[in-house]
Amino acid sequence: MGDPADLVALSGGHTVGRAHCGFFADRMRRQDDTFSRKLAVNCSLEPNRVQNLDVITPDAFDNAYYMALTNKQGVFTSDMALIKDRTTARIVRRFAQDKAAFFAQFAKSMAKLSQVPRSDRNVGEIRRSCFRTNGQSLVAAGAASA
Ligand code: HEM
């Protein structure tokens, strides 16, 4: 069984990497804080840009993603949800203060994830390409989203 610590720790994967504007369009549409307005301006000036998911240390695997979240600087709605919910916010704040605690939980949660039971043939597959299962042809998946 997953628990809130798994959810918060695994989302910490967003301590590295980037996202295309379309994936956080809902956050930009709301423009309900300074950061979402900034994202909206950046994407309207440059629609093909990629946005750093951890705005503090974009390329380092560290706990700065959580520090950014405590400043309401999460890119996805799913990132922001972690700081809005009381239970997960407590864990976010702990990881923001304690990198070792994040690392320990991340390792534990990744190992747990690897044990998720395979209840049907689409679960447990490591995809060679985003947006389609390994058995699915490019045409069936829609070449534009493959
Ligand atoms: C709440 C669940 C999650 C959601 C909704 C989510 C969503 C996304 C989206 C929409 C992107 C951007 C894709 C793009 O623009 O091309 C992304 C990127 C990324 N995600 Fe997640 N993700 C989730 C969980 C995770 C987990 C569990 C990990 C790893 C432990 C992870 C690691 C990454 C990384 C490293 C990138 C950047 C990829 C790159 O720069 O090429 N994400 N995520």
Q: What are phi and psi of 117, to 5 degrees?
A: -65, 145
* Other Cβ atoms within 10 Å of 75 Cβ, number: 25
What is the residue-averaged pLDDT of the chain?
Answer: 90
* Other Cβ atoms within 10 Å of 68 Cβ, number: 24
Residues sharing a CB contact under 8 Å with residue 99, sequence separation 6 or more, in sequence order: 62, 63
Question: Is 106 in contact with 15 (CB distance < 8 Å)?
Answer: no
Predicted confidence band of residue 130 (pLDDT cuts 50, 70, 90): confident
Global pTM reads 0.89
Output the CA 119–ligand 1 centroid distance in Å: 23
Detail the residues annotated as belonging to a binding site for heme b: 14
Predicted pLDDT of residue 123 = 59
Predicted pLDDT of residue 146 = 32
Percent of the chain with pLDDT over 90: 75
Output the CA 9–ligand 1 centroid distance in Å: 13
Domain spanning 4-116: which superfamily? Peroxidase, domain 2 (1.10.420.10)
Q: Where are the domains of the chain?
A: 4-116
Ligand 1 pocket at CB < 6 A: 10-11, 13-14, 16-20, 23, 76, 78
User: Which one of 53, 78, 84, 110 would you pick to mutate in the ligand 1 pocket, going by the greatest count of ligand atoms within 8 A of its CB?
Assistant: 53
Q: How far is CA 107 from each of CA 9, 19, 73, rounded to the nearest angstrom?
A: 9, 24, 24
Predicted pLDDT of residue 127 = 82
Predicted confidence band of residue 134 (pLDDT cuts 50, 70, 90): confident
Residue 145 carries which side chain, given as an amino acid letter? Answer: S
Output the CA 137–ligand 1 centroid distance in Å: 23
Residues sharing a CB contact under 8 Å with residue 20, sequence separation 6 or more, in sequence order: 48, 50, 51
